[in-house]
Chain A
Amino acid sequence: MSKYLVNLKINNIPVSVEEGTSILEAAKKLNFSIPTLCNHPDLTVAGNCRVCVVEVKGAKLLAAACATPVSEGMDVSTNSQKVRTSRKHIIELLLAEHNSDCTKCFKNGHCELQDLSSEYRVGDHVFLDLVKPKDKIQDISSPSIVKDDSKCIRCQRCVRTCTELQSVSALAVINKGDQQKISTFLSKSLHDVVCTNCGQCINRCPTGALTEHNYIEEVWNALYNPNKFVVVQTAPAVRVALAEDLGFEPGMRVTGKLVSVLKKIGFNKVLDTNFTADLTIIEEGTELLKRLKKALVDKDENVALPMMTSCSPGWIKFQEHLFPSLLNNLSTCKSPQQMFGALAKTYYADKINVKAQDMVVVSIMPCTAKKFEAGRPEMRDSGYQDVDYVLTTRELAMMVKQAGIDFHKLEDEQYDSILGESTGAAVIFGATGGVMEAALRTVYEIVTGREVPFTNLNIIPVRGMEGVKEATIKIKNVKPEWSFLEGVNLNVAVAHGLVNAKLLMEKVKSGEANYHFIEIMGCPGGCLGGGGQPIPTSPEIRKKRAEAIYAEDASMTLRKSHENPEVTEIYKEFLGEANSHKAHDLLHTHYKVRKRY
């Protein structure tokens, strides 16, 4: 059914928009911006903050522009006296409830409420302060997320994020009236509930109520400590997003500048998580082939298929809480971050003659769940905590500013070697479908000796922002040792955002799905939309980051993980073969059943 056009006037200017369009969207078409707080492009409409109220001629009530559809003949004023008075009142009311210690707030300068207050110049403190002293006690129990109720403006963006995008519902609205607040189950600390640490709520919190647990000072202290050798690894998705926090438009690739700035900040070695992403493909690809062999040749009924990727720690914790019966389906491979940590403090430390105890491994991640992952007791295979500190892309941007470095003027530099080489297959780990694509590029070639049958190696069916993607690849003309795969249709699926993961898991659990391999990323868009990435986020911004990721892949000479020379080298020198005993000791892990409540 085609939608018909509705004619209306906004601030006396006629406009025609499709039926169902909100006043907010219609005004945007005319370049009138209406302030919003509870509204977010990724979420359903709430219409609860009321900052976006506008006047509709003839109506007794103001209309929330975000929640009110246009209607024929509407005459809207976005800045009438009534509107301004109400809007100012509303901002002042929010401030009365808000702990306005802005100068000390982690979000200082990045706060939507602060921006609005300065736009509307609310300075005269009309209303009485309502901040509850007990709300000022922050919940710092989680290694990933800090919750500060005294900063909360009840827009419920976090609640909608946790429910609509992630289907976790760790955050919910409790109580009513003056006691209404955003809380966890039974008001337990964030660390003790089903929270996956994905940080998507942080990405959508307009104020400082939800922020990452930051480790900036710890990292500076390590850098200042002359007895420490500090190495840093950077995740694939950081290089296509960092620039946004430093004054560039979304979609800018700054890999060389990223390396350069980390060196200037003082890291002893600047290395790449992409290296271990390539390594992950070898380990995980081999694991998949072994599972397939067990299932198809040995007819082993206990082998868990479909196998599922394990790079995304938010997804891992989700699975541990919600689908514990499927834990065996998870690849035992550690995430690239943790493979890196384990190798840095063993193989690499030996090579460069640094004692593991003197080495500090820092990761720059698009992710807050990585902070939790680094602290998991399973992640100490080097004999020490393999990764010491995890910083988000945002925290790194703060360090860049603190260091007084003009990012724009930096020359590109190269990652240090070893543990710095990578392929295009690694960089696409940053986008949903990327791990799948990288794995297929390698696995298909191992099995058949030929490249995957897609133009320029671009496996388009697993790319893009659809919530669940499926593909089938027919394996033909295999090498003799893989004869059991001859003619097999390899069924794969990709999901991103935990709400989609849940859909897929329910299908797997019911037996409705017959996939061999599933990639899941906890965050919408994959790591490029991670909870540690620059704020704001939106479908458009994530699309631009994804384009940058694939452009980076296309620009590389090596685009298949198994062609990474450093990977070949590390197997020859240290690990032996893929899934070897040593590889298992350092690069693989196990999972833990966790309760839902």
Chain B
Amino acid sequence: MEKKVKKVDIIFETALDTSPLDVLDKTLQRSADDIILELIDSGLKGRGGAGFPTGLKWKFTKNEDSDTKYVICNADEGEPGTFKDREILDRVPEKVFTGMTICGYVIGAREGYIYLRGEYNFLLKTLNAKLDIFNKALKDRNIDFQIFVKSGSGAYVCGEESALFESMQGFRGEPRNKPPYPTVAGYNFKPTVINNVETLVYVAMICRIGAEKFKALGTTDSRGSKVFSVSGDTPIPGIYELELGMPLSRFVDEFGDGDAKAVQVGGASGHCVPRKLFADTIIGFEGIPTGGSMMLFNSSRSMYNVLKDYLEFFTEESCGQCTPCRVGCQQLLKGIEAVKRGERPPAYLDEMKKLTGTMRIAAKCGLGQSVGNPFNTIIDNFREEIIY
């Protein structure tokens, strides 16, 4: 077994001999079913966090009977500690466009939208300029597909797919009830494929290099590689494309400052892994999945403050519509403060853990459902830091 993390160069690689449009031309020669089969075979799972198999998502949407369908590229990137989608859109936007166009071809959509995080508006000008060229290239090829950018509203929850649709439709960014799922009723309640920026690039690249090469990377449950946003107490913060399925210890060896006591895997809504579990934690769908955010904490950090920051974030970013999340987040935040001040006994932390159990199964969307991830993993592993 290798000792070092395996760095990969797929996403940002700019081969001189094949442009994204070449990939597109070649791919559109194939049948939609053929492309779907290859995607399913590749084992590609969504890179936005939920990890749904991309090929299946496309297949479901293709099978829906509707004149109007949409492709949405989710570039809301609101998860604290994630900044890879910005980099992708900045450096290789044509690959994203290509992935979207392939999707449009496969499912039968004529319009694609990039939902761009409000804070990334500085990218708008160049992105639109490049889109103009790309859209024109599509027209020149008689490909009935056009891509537009929509600027986001600046709320974290708008990255949640159904809230994103609501926001795009001009309403408050509040998640919808599911079912129906986007594949059946997404943007404008039409069948929609929504994929993360990175997912779409992998699609384009799988179409170029073939499923076999992609599959050769990673593990059975976590095929391929993934772009990580590395931050926190590391001498080398930045964006890295790494093979999936590595143990966290190997990651820390590479990126840590020698004093890492915990890594928050998957951003604020992810899991906190303490040093003692580094070796046994696999980064991937069989272990701890991540949308890409890896935050390292060394021994100088107060995990109470880390948790408090996260809870403040969720308390503010909950859309506020459903009870478990809106009130639950406030209770967790006020609760750890009360315990810290000695106004509630340490056992109150266990009451709150039970509450996260309710939030996990009763909240309306992934935001409220996942607040328990950081809460429980930090409380369980750093209880003293919370109480004293």
Contact = CB atoms under 8 A, between A and B. Distances in A.
A126 B352 CA distance: 10
Interface in A213-263: none
B338 A86 contact: no
Nearest to B317: A177
A67 B357 CA distance: 21
B320 A180 contact: yes
Contacts of B321: 46, 48, 154, 156, 173, 180
A587 interface: no
A16 to B, nearest CB: 20
B355 interface: yes
Contacts of A456: none
A93 B331 contact: yes
- Pick from B179, B328, B330 the residue with the most CB of A within 10 Å: B330
A137 interface: no
Interface in A83-113: 85-86, 89-90, 93-94, 96-97
Contacts of A127: 327, 331
A175 interface: yes
A410 to B, nearest CB: 44
Interface centre among B155, B177, B314, B354 (most CB of A within 10 A): B177
Interface stretch (A57-65, A336-344, A422-430): A57-65
Nearest to B173: A176
A93 B362 contact: no
B45 to A, nearest CB: 17
Contact of B329 (A67, A94, A178): A178
A68 B181 CA distance: 12
A393 to B, nearest CB: 32
A69 B179 contact: yes
A178 B330 contact: yes
A177 B324 contact: no
Interface bracket on A: 35 or more
Given A62-B361, A130-B334, A176-B157, A90 B329 contact: no
B232 interface: no
Contacts of A50: 322-324, 362-364
B316 A90 contact: no
A235 B157 CA distance: 49
B335 interface: yes
A85 B177 CA distance: 22
B172 A60 contact: no
B22 interface: no
A9 B347 CA distance: 39
B369 interface: yes
A53 interface: yes
A128 interface: yes
A411 to B, nearest CB: 49
Nearest to A130: B330
A82 B357 CA distance: 9
Contacts of B316: 176-179
Given A48-B321, A154-B321, A176-B319, A82 B331 contact: no
A89 B324 contact: yes
A90 B362 contact: yes
B334 to A, nearest CB: 5
Given A60-B361, A67-B177, A90-B362, A177 B320 contact: yes
A61 B335 CA distance: 25
Interface in A133-154: 153-154
Contacts of B261: none
Interface in B142-172: 155, 157, 172
B351 interface: yes
A90 B361 CA distance: 12
A180 B327 contact: no
Given A175-B320, A176-B316, A86 B179 contact: no
Nearest to B328: A93
Interface string A8-40: 000000000000000000000000000000000
Contacts of A128: 331, 334-335, 338
A173 B320 CA distance: 9
A176 B318 CA distance: 6
B326 A86 contact: no
A45 interface: yes
Nearest to B357: A85
B358 interface: yes
B163 to A, nearest CB: 11
Interface in B328-386: 328-331, 334-335, 338, 351, 354-355, 357-358, 360-364, 369
B362 A62 contact: yes
Contact of A61 (B314, B319, B369): B369
B331 A96 contact: yes
Contacts of B354: 85, 89
A180 B358 contact: no
Given A176-B157, A177-B326, A178-B330, A48 B317 contact: no
A551 interface: no
Nearest to B330: A178
Contacts of A490: none
B315 interface: yes
Interface of A: 45-51, 53, 60-62, 64, 67-69, 82, 85-86, 89-90, 93-94, 96-97, 126-128, 130, 153-154, 156, 173, 175-180
Given A53-B362, A180-B326, 8 more contacts: A96-B331, A128-B338, A130-B327, A130-B330, A130-B331, A154-B323, A176-B157, A178-B320
27 contacts: A45-B177, A48-B321, A50-B322, A61-B360, A61-B361, A85-B354, A89-B324, A89-B354, A89-B358, A90-B323, A90-B324, A90-B362, A93-B328, A94-B323, A97-B327, A130-B327, A154-B320, A154-B321, A156-B321, A173-B320, A173-B321, A176-B157, A176-B316, A176-B320, A177-B318, A178-B326, A180-B320
9 closest A-B pairs by CB: A180-B320, A93-B327, A67-B177, A89-B358, A48-B321, A47-B177, A86-B358, A177-B316, A86-B362
Interface of B: 155, 157, 172, 177, 179, 314-324, 326-331, 334-335, 338, 351, 354-355, 357-358, 360-364, 369
